[in-house]
Amino acid sequence: MRDLVIQSLLLYFVLTILTGVIYPGAVTMVAQLAWPQAANGSLIKDETTGGTIGSSLLGQEFTSDEYFWGRLSATTPPYNAAASSGSNLGPLNPSLLKNARARIEALKVPAGKSSKVPVDLVTSSASGLDPHISPASALFQAERVASARGLTQHEVEELIKQNTEGKQFAVFGESRVNVLQLNLALDRLNRPASSTPKPNR
């Protein structure tokens, strides 16, 4: 019995060093040397100020008409990358309908508009940090963004096309548009004269 306890203790200690210190340490070293950008959160710096303006892998909140909007986010406040969360609303939960209605209203869909709202634009993502929307959701907002920026709808649609990622290796996942990247591309194309953020939620 005494042997058993000593062996257990020693083995637990040795395996802790091996799998809790050496292993993560080695992976960190490789990752930091080989691809520090990816290993440190894929942060994006502002071209002029040099300050961090987010991560290319994480969504952030956009509420003004000049920008494309992302998925609904259930974190508090929305798109809080320090405390991720989904909505966890069941399919019959009235809040699900309420959130979708509020989003549709904010989108100001003109009555009689033929195209329906794409589902990913009126639902919350799993993480609350989804950086993407579907190409359909981006195109759905093209008209609003174009008129707010004084661009033609064609110009904005071209930009969406350039920023659409297809399926990875033509097989995996879904085609999608990174909202932050698309909005940064918009800003490079034409800087909004004045922006007055409006709440949309």
Partner 1 sequence: MTGDGIFQLLLYLVVLNLLALPLGRYMARVFSSEPTWLSLLLAPLEGLIYKICRINHTQDMGWKLYAASMLTFNGFGLFAVYLIQRMQNVLPLNPQNLGAVSADSSLNTAISFVSNTNWQGYGGEVTMSYFTQMIGLNVQNFVSAATGIACLIALVRGLVRQESLGIGNFWSDMVKATLYVLLPLSLVVSILLSSQGVVQTFQPYAAYSTVEEIKSAKPSSEPHLIALGPAASQIAIKQLGTNGGGFFNVNSSHPLENPNPLTNFVECISILLISAALCHTFGKMVNDLRQGWAVLAAMSVIFLASLAICFTSESSLSPALSALGVDATSSTMQPGGNMEGKETRFGIANSALWATATTAASNGSVNSMHDSYNPIGGLVPMLLMQLGEVIYGGVGSGLYGMLVFAIITVFIAGLMVGRTPEYLGKKIEAFEVKMSSLVILFPPAVVLIGTAIAVSLEVGRSSVLNSGPHGFSEILYAFSSAGNNNGSAFAGLNANTPFYNYALGIAMFIARYWLVVPVIAIAGSLARKKRSPESLGTMPTHNALFVSLLTGVVLIFGALTFVPSLALGPIVEHLMMVSDLSQGVSAK
Please report, as residue ranges, which positions from 39 to 98 form the binding site for partner 1 (by CB under 8 A).
39-43, 46, 49, 51-55, 57-64, 67, 71, 80-97
Q: Which long-range contacts (CB under 8 A, 24 or more apart) does 103-106 make?
A: 103/72, 103/200, 103/201, 106/200, 106/201
Among the listed residues 65, 68, 73, 135, the single contact to partner 1 using CB under 8 A: 135
DSSP codes, 45-81: E-TTT--EEEETTS-----STTS----B--SSSTT-T
Residue at token pair 């058993």 = 4
Q: Is 152 in the site for partner 1 (CB under 8 A)?
A: no
Shortest distance (Å) from residue 159 CB to partner 1: 16
Among the listed residues 108, 154, 173, 190, the single contact to partner 1 using CB under 8 A: 173
What residue type is assigned to position 200 of the chain? N
Among the listed residues 73, 127, 163, 200, the single contact to partner 1 using CB under 8 A: 127
Shortest distance (Å) from residue 114 CB to partner 1: 11
Q: Are 176 and 165 in contact (CB under 8 A)?
A: yes
Q: Is 141 in the site for partner 1 (CB under 8 A)?
A: no
Looking at the Cβ atoms of 57 and 106, the one nearer to partner 1 is 57
Shortest distance (Å) from residue 155 CB to partner 1: 19
Between the alpha carbon of residue 33 and those of residues 24, 26, 27, 38, 66, the distances in Å are 14, 11, 10, 11, 39
Looking at the Cβ atoms of 139 and 146, the one nearer to partner 1 is 139
Q: Residue 124: enclosing H or E segment and its boundaries? A: none
Q: Is 130 in the site for partner 1 (CB under 8 A)?
A: yes
Closest CA to 130 of 85, 96, 172: 85
Looking at the Cβ atoms of 44 and 155, the one nearer to partner 1 is 44
Q: Is 190 in the site for partner 1 (CB under 8 A)?
A: no
Among the listed residues 10, 150, 189, 190, the single contact to partner 1 using CB under 8 A: 10
Size, binding site for partner 1 by CB under 8 A: 112
